[in-house]
Structure 1
Amino acid sequence: MQAQLETLGALERRLSFSVPRDRINQEVSARLKRVAKTARVDGFRPGKAPMSIVSQQYGFRVQEEVMGETVERSFGEAVQEQKLSVAGYPRFEPKEGATGEGDFEFVATFEVYPDVVVGSLDGVEIEKPVLDVSDAEIDKTLDILRRQRTRYERVERAAADEDRVIIDFKGTIDGEPFEGGSSDNYAFLLGKGQMLPEFEAGIRGMKEDEAKNVEVNFPADYHGKDVAGKTAVFAITLKNVAQSILPEVNAEFAKSLGIEDGDIAKMRAEVKSNLEREVRFRLKARAKESVMSALIDSTPLELPKSLVGLEIGRLAESAQADLKQRGIDPKLVPFSPQMFEAQARRRVHLGLVLAEVVKSNGLEAKPEQVKAIIEDLAQNYEDPADVVGWYYEQRERLAGPESMALEDNVVAFVQSKGKTVEKTVTFEELMGQQQQA
């Protein structure tokens, strides 16, 4: 089969090729004969309708199927002959100016993968974050665990920061109520920034059953566009003030964390073990991020638009699924491709570079590495042996651990080439928002 290749851009190609009309006609005829054996046509027993009627009823659909399959197969053969690596999906169109006689002529427009040449990593600084888990980190973690078990006790005094308050409020702008501006029995923690500063300042110092009006200026960039930049007056009634009571670090507290005999030393050892595992995981993630950034910076690439587009679609679907899982209707949150483009481009870029680094340096995951990762992951569960067994029950379940092992190999390889610079990070910096009460 003859095919003509044109270069339209750095990665865009156009391939003109033909599909023999005889091949199409023969395949259509063969399929219609198979269809005729079971075809149900009004007025005839199944499989007994004349071919002319079967062709009239099923011919167009069969021809479309055969044409589509043949075009894709012919395109694949042409691509192999031309030794092309196609990125994304090609766009097929009839060739412009075709006479309609002789063979069918088509044009496929598509992109190819770029040639990836990984840049030099010699001397490139690779940041490696470090953090040792000390008694101070254990104490901070225990404090967080205590705050998660906070109980609230009603008090007869003025509301202060750290108190839980329950209020009724009704807001108006220019004397008119507005959507979302009113609520009854609304509870929140004072001084935690859960409400606008002026709103909280108005409640601070109020006592139970006290009522007052509080003026609040909504910021110009407030997420609620209907009220952004406007001034509202809230009629607030304070119904309850409760102070926070944190549990003591004692035997009962230890038992609540799963230490059956309530031994404090065992509890601290357990917390330290879990914390060291989490810190190790996060340090690896930080180090990996530094390595991946170095790979991207060292290897500029022209990215196939089709692959970026596919990745944008995947990210958008993932974001919508996350919203659904949290009970939010995705239709209420406007999505645009631009929101995901930067992340999508980075993912595609990184995927192309990683594939080349792994292939060129033999960094594929080894079975013993995968097993070690699975065993480490299993330590987060009550019965690690069951978790390990679950992974090995089905081959596809190993994909995640294999990917992690492969990334570990790439990180070690890049660190060996570059200049690793250790950077001490704080506990709060490493753990981030998840460690805040």
Structure 2
Amino acid sequence: MQITETLAEGLKREYQITITGADLEARVNEKLVEAQPEIAMKGFRKGKVPMALLKKQFGPRLMGEAMQEAVDGAMQGHLDETGHRPAMQPEVKMVNEDWKEGDDIVVSMSYDMLPEIPAIDYKAIKLEKLVAKPADADIDEALQNLAKNAQNFETKKGKAADGDQVVIDFVGKVDGEAFEGGAAEDYPLVLGSGSFIPGFEDQLVGVKAGEEKAVEVSFPEEYGAEHLAGKAAVFDVTVKEVKKPVAAEVDDELAKKYGAESLEALKGQISERIAAEYSGAARQVLKRKLLDQLDAMVSFDLPPALVEAEANQIAHQLWHEEHPEVHGHDHGSIEATDEHKTLAARRVKLGLLLAELGQKNEVKVSDAEMTQAILMQARQYPGQERAFFEFIQKNQAAQQQIRAPLFEDKVVDFIVELADVTETEITKDELKAAVDALEAE
């Protein structure tokens, strides 16, 4: 076996690997000798099949296995000897495609190496940690919103307006015939809620208690019941009562509706929730400022293949965001722009840097942290949580997608702990402006 370097340019490496025909034949013979005692063929007892016949019967398949094992072994041996860490899976191609049994096999192997990452002086990193505390006005605003959501309805005189509730009896008919599921009594309908088919609620704005009205509508073409989809219908409606919305009182009763023991307890819960939201927003700002500093203070060569793959992924993702109507991937090719490539270079650089810092400092994501993250994502699929959890357990790529951001955040926390950090108290509006500025960049 012979390995010859054919390219060493920056992080790019290419090699030519030659495996002799004699080596391949020896591997095949070794496999045949190992398998011979267990093989039985017509006319021969188990373990007594002649080697020549075995080679004729199984040789071609075993030769393929021997080639793969020889190439894999040569590649791994080379990496162990040189200490190279490929940025992506090495690309291996057959050179002598006209190979026949007995010939040497020649393959080319190419890859981009991971670069050497320079050390970081954590104390040279200076960060400002923004701190915003919930104000009484913030808590009062949240309470008022909860009261609106917990609104009641009281009987009113006069015409129904948008946002009012009408209590109605109705019977729906298509072609003069009542249809199943098209009738109800004492149904409370909030006008403007969009809970009925388009056009129904609009025609009840202005009705009074005791009034009867024929509401003429058409079912949408994509309506769930096929026998009604796209058809015109008339609903005979009797208005029994008109009610106006009344916000709930901000008191202990409101608190109990939201699972708190008292109004003070509810205020405490709201304060904690707002504080958590502010802390999360402030962390976004802190993390961006940290990454900006790391990007500026560290420089090293980037694996071209990684940058290209990341740029293509960014271009593909943004294209789909601009064309939400396209759900598949059977579209034409999408070219990465210079802007995509610049963003990709930053992401690859920071990704490699954080990975190296995390590895050197033994930052790890625990099993408990992974389980918690998986459970949180599983909640996005009501009724399918178990299936989602089992899918993640069996899928290494899906696990990595969950683990990667957890690992990155833990590395960020590690760096922040060692950096020179000062705290600055700010208002909610100032925090919002800081977050908006991130999104504008």
Structures share a fold, TM > 0.5? Answer: yes
CA gap of 1:337–1:4, structure 2 versus 1, over 3 A, is same
Give the whole-Å Cα distance in 2 for the aligned partners of 1:204 and 1:350: 58
Query: How far does the alpha carbon of each residue in 1:145-172 deviate from its partner, in whole angstroms, 9 at most, with x for none?
Result: 4455456789864644x6799xxxxxxx
Number of residue equivalences: 353
Q: Give the superposition deviation at 1:14.
A: 1.0
- Which of 413, 428, 431 is residue 418 of structure 2 equivalent to? 413
2:302 alignment partner, SS class: coil
2:117 and 2:300 in contact (8 A); partners too: yes
In our comparison, the structure showing a higher alpha carbon Rg is: 2
Q: Give the superposition deviation at 1:429.
A: 2.8
2:86 and 2:114 in contact (8 A); partners too: yes
Give the whole-Å Cα distance in 1 for the aligned partners of 2:243 and 2:427: 40
1:373 and 1:405 in contact (8 A); partners too: no
Q: Give the superposition deviation at 1:277.
A: 3.5
Give the whole-Å Cα distance in 2 for the aligned partners of 1:372 and 1:211: 57
1:159 and 1:204 in contact (8 A); partners too: no
Q: Give the superposition deviation at 1:373.
A: 8.8
1:89 alignment partner, SS class: coil
Is 1:58 the counterpart of 2:63? The answer is: no
Q: Match of 1:273?
A: 272
Give the whole-Å Cα distance in 2 for the aligned partners of 1:135 and 1:120: 42
2:259 alignment partner, SS class: coil
Query: How far does the alpha carbon of each residue in 1:214-273 deviate from its partner, in whole angstroms, 9 at most, with x for none?
Result: xxxxxxxxxxxxxxxxxxxxxxx9x999865543322222123222xx321122123323
CA gap of 1:9–1:210, structure 2 versus 1, over 3 A, is farther
1:126 and 1:294 in contact (8 A); partners too: no
Give the whole-Å Cα distance in 1 for the aligned partners of 2:317 and 2:38: 43
1:351 alignment partner, SS class: helix
Which residue type is aligned with residue 350 of structure 1? Answer: L
1:426 alignment partner, SS class: helix
Q: Match of 1:247?
A: 248
Q: TM-score, normalised by structure 1?
A: 0.58
Query: How far does the alpha carbon of each residue in 1:103-141 deviate from its partner, in whole angstroms, 9 at most, with x for none?
Result: 432211211123334688887764533211222222233
Q: Give the superposition deviation at 1:18.
A: 2.0
CA gap of 1:16–1:422, structure 2 versus 1, over 3 A, is farther
Query: How far does the alpha carbon of each residue in 1:36-94 deviate from its partner, in whole angstroms, 9 at most, with x for none?
Result: 44457678777665544443443323222221122122122223434422110111123
Which residue type is aligned with residue 132 of structure 1? Answer: K
2:88 alignment partner, SS class: strand
Alignment RMSD (CA, Å): 5.8
Give the whole-Å Cα distance in 2 for the aligned partners of 1:189 and 1:428: 37
2:161 and 2:191 in contact (8 A); partners too: no
Which residue type is aligned with residue 139 of structure 1? Answer: D
Give the whole-Å Cα distance in 1 for the aligned partners of 2:165 and 2:42: 75
Q: Match of 1:91?
A: 91
Q: Give the superposition deviation at 1:338.
A: 6.3
1:15 alignment partner, SS class: strand
Which residue type is aligned with residue 112 of structure 1? Answer: M
1:87 alignment partner, SS class: coil
1:98 and 1:105 in contact (8 A); partners too: no
CA gap of 1:92–1:274, structure 2 versus 1, over 3 A, is same
Q: Match of 1:115?
A: 116
Which residue type is aligned with residue 271 of structure 1? Answer: I
Give the whole-Å Cα distance in 2 for the aligned partners of 1:344 and 1:430: 27
Q: Match of 2:328?
A: 331
What are the residue-to-residue correspondences of 1:160-171 with 2, within 5 Å? 160=162
Give the whole-Å Cα distance in 1 for the aligned partners of 2:190 and 2:71: 64
What are the residue-to-residue correspondences of 1:146-185 with 2, within 5 Å? 146-149=147-150, 157=159, 159-160=161-162
CA gap of 1:9–1:423, structure 2 versus 1, over 3 A, is farther
Q: Match of 1:13?
A: 13
Q: TM-score, normalised by structure 2?
A: 0.58
CA gap of 1:428–1:85, structure 2 versus 1, over 3 A, is closer
What are the residue-to-residue correspondences of 1:325-364 with 2, within 5 Å? 330-331=327-328, 345-358=345-358, 363-364=361-362
Is 1:131 the counterpart of 2:132? The answer is: yes
1:291 and 1:415 in contact (8 A); partners too: no
2:312 and 2:336 in contact (8 A); partners too: no
2:358 and 2:364 in contact (8 A); partners too: no
What are the residue-to-residue correspondences of 1:36-435 with 2, within 5 Å? 36-39=36-39, 50-95=50-95, 103-117=104-118, 126-149=127-150, 157=159, 159-160=161-162, 207=206, 244-259=245-260, 262-308=261-307, 330-331=327-328, 345-358=345-358, 363-365=361-363, 404-415=409-420, 424-426=427-429, 429=432
1:86 and 1:112 in contact (8 A); partners too: yes
CA gap of 1:37–1:296, structure 2 versus 1, over 3 A, is farther
CA gap of 1:336–1:103, structure 2 versus 1, over 3 A, is closer
1:89 and 1:306 in contact (8 A); partners too: no
2:281 and 2:435 in contact (8 A); partners too: no
Give the whole-Å Cα distance in 2 for the aligned partners of 1:334 and 1:21: 45
1:364 and 1:406 in contact (8 A); partners too: no
Provide structure 2 residue ranges, at least 5 long, that are not aligned to the other structure.
167-188, 208-212, 218-234, 319-324, 377-392, 394-398, 437-441
Which residue type is aligned with residue 134 of structure 2? Answer: V
Moved more, 346-355 or 304-313: 304-313
CA gap of 1:90–1:124, structure 2 versus 1, over 3 A, is same
Query: How far does the alpha carbon of each residue in 1:269-294 deviate from its partner, in whole angstroms, 9 at most, with x for none?
Result: 23323433443344223312221232
2:89 alignment partner, SS class: strand
Q: Match of 1:30?
A: 30
Query: How far does the alpha carbon of each residue in 1:7-51 deviate from its partner, in whole angstroms, 9 at most, with x for none?
Result: 365432211222243332222222233444445767877766554
Query: How far does the alpha carbon of each residue in 1:274-331 deviate from its partner, in whole angstroms, 9 at most, with x for none?
Result: 4334433442233122212321243355432443566689999999xxxxxxxx9943
Which residue type is aligned with residue 289 of structure 2? Answer: S
Give the whole-Å Cα distance in 1 for the aligned partners of 2:56 and 2:128: 70
Give the whole-Å Cα distance in 2 for the aligned partners of 1:371 and 1:141: 36
Give the whole-Å Cα distance in 1 for the aligned partners of 2:62 and 2:357: 46
